[in-house]
Structure 1
Amino acid sequence: MTQDIDLETVIRARIRGLRLARGWSLDALAGRCGLSASTLSRIETGHRRIAIDQLSPIARALGTSIDELVELTSDEDVVIHPRRNAAHGHTTWLLTREDEPNGLVVAKMRITARRPAARPGVHPGHEWFTVLSGTARLQLGERVLVVEEGQSAQFSTMVPHALTALDGPLEIIVVFDREGRRAHLDPEKGHAGPTTT
């Protein structure tokens, strides 16, 4: 399969398919995930963009995970191979192709590093992540924020930033824009995740 696959179209179809497979109305799913039925309807029909912080409660209500909702598969890419960076304490699984036409890359990351980089990174753009398990320590300039399981964060990457695991391994779904993709996933720079920035 060589045609481009639109990630949001895939997510919308999976949400609707899982809801219908359970025999649930929009109201039934709304009651389980804390969103309104009209919001869910607009998400399913493409009249509203899907926000990353909406994915977690929808996935949980449908009995699935965020990474299963966003995973793109094709005849060419059946197996997703992890990219390990032992020096920086993380492993990355790309859930979208790096050449996505909209420029966004979705990845699942497992972070074990507990010490922030010597110098937090700075680059143009924005980043978003949702914590699947564990607790994240997000340094933004002088501030240190704790982001717990089920919570999301988004921030300008022009602010010096570093992301590490607070207590034990951390698993996140992260969305990089074009600039973030270059900063974190460029193999020539040896980057493969937010802990290296």
Structure 2
Amino acid sequence: MEGENPHDATETQPSSDRIKLNVGGKLFETTTYTLRSGGPDSLLSLLSNRSLHHHDPSQPVFIDRDPEIFSALLSLLRSNRLPSTAKRFSNQELIDEASYYGIESQLKSALAPSPLTGIDASLFTTIRPSSDATVSDFNAIDSDGSVWVAHGGQISVYDWNLTHSGTVRTHLDYISTIRRIGPGVAAVGSETLAGLHVYNNATGDRACRGLASD
């Protein structure tokens, strides 16, 4: 019909795709696609489904959480990266909120260093062990972000957020080298005792010892 704009139907986003959220008293408007990008089991995905089928779309869904951190996490879902405003919060604050919403894996990917950047050795001022604190070697694991640290005769493990997961006391007085060789298992070497010594970090048991030969 004359006078109609043929682009109106394609340029107008259906209102049913938009969702209003009230997070800690601050209003947000986003789409079901953005909320569901956190995964089907995330709280935000579940809320988007409930909002579409059981909620008046004109009324925002209320979430009693920090709105400023939510704003950063919503930006993460939109662009797969954290905005500059996220630097105002500690990693632990971001992780706590991401865990609540069920999008911790997305945050983990965003916080991971670039493969070309590698691990920042200055982080060891953060994870320095309280006992036998001189770090002799460490092994950073790409697959899960954990860091295995040798200090004195002990092995300490930190998760991707540099949270201490556990410490094992070995039979060695000093560990020169350490490598994780499997889930929860590390091989260590010492200049004071020949051989390769394998420890289970979960149990603290010495799994085996291999002797080097010429």
TM-score tier, shorter chain, comes to under 0.3
Q: Which has the higher contact order (CA 8 A, sep 6+)?
A: 1
Select the structure of larger CA radius of gyration: 2
Q: Tell me the TM-score normalised to structure 1 length.
A: 0.28
Q: Tell me the TM-score normalised to structure 2 length.
A: 0.26
